[in-house]
């Protein structure tokens, strides 16, 4: 059986696209482990550590001289079969953690939401590659957005 040149061209393009998509690494939330530093804007760090119960503990901090000034502590864990992002911001919410449940995960992006919280309502993490991470906080109206572009620091 002979195939037309159009079919052969289509098949070659399809095969190349398929092979290219296979070469792209897939990320999980566990890939957050390590220290991340903002590339632009205010200097901010996130440090994530894998714990023995398969959850992740994190802290967001900045540097003041030689001292770390912790701005928030975070935790990522699985509760009732779903990922939950908990954040405790310094001097806010009477020292209580605010929980954001995973609402959507597509590709290398995770969207956590808590519609009852004033701000943010949504926290989004997206891997661009193994050393570049984007984080975003926003409200559901979309008029209060803050983007963070992180680079992984070498251990």
Is position 10 within any domain? Answer: no
Range of the domain at 120: 29-152
pLDDT in tens, 47-93: 999 998 889 999 999 998 889 999 999 999 999 999 999 999 988 88
Is position 61 within any domain? Answer: yes
Beta-strand pair 67-79/82-89: antiparallel
Q: What is the model's pTM?
A: 0.82
Is position 38 within any domain? Answer: yes
pLDDT tier, 17 (very low <50, low <70, confident <90, very high otherwise):
very low
Residue 105 burial by Cβ neighbours in a 10 Å radius (0-12, 13-18, 19+): middle
Question: In this predicted structure, what is the pLDDT of residue 57?
Answer: 98
Identify the CATH number of the domain in which residue 51 sits.
2.40.128
Residue 3 has pLDDT above 80, yes or no: no
Q: Is the dihedral of CA 62, 68, 69, 71 positive or negative?
A: positive
- Total residues found in the chain within this entry: 155
pLDDT in tens, 95-135: 899 999 999 999 899 999 999 999 999 999 999 999 999 99
Is position 75 within any domain? Answer: yes
| Total domain count, the chain | 1
């Amino acid at each position: 059986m002979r195939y037309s040149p159009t079919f052969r061209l289509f098949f070659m393009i399809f095969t190349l696209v398929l092979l290219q998509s296979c070469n792209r690494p897939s990320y999980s939330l566990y890939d957050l482990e390590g220290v991340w530093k903002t590339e632009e804007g205010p200097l901010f760090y996130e440090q994530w550590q894998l714990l023995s119960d398969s959850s992740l503990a994190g802290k967001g901090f900045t540097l003041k001289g030689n001292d770390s000034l912790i701005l928030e502590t975070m935790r990522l864990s699985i509760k009732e079969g779903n990922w939950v992002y908990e954040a405790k911001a310094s001097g806010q919410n009477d020292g209580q953690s605010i929980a954001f449940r995973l609402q959507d995960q597509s590709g290398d992006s995770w969207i956590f939401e808590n519609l009852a919280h004033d701000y943010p309502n949504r926290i989004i993490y997206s891997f661009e590659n193994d050393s570049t991470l984007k984080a975003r906080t926003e409200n559901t109206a979309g008029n209060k957005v803050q983007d963070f572009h992180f680079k992984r620091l070498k251990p």
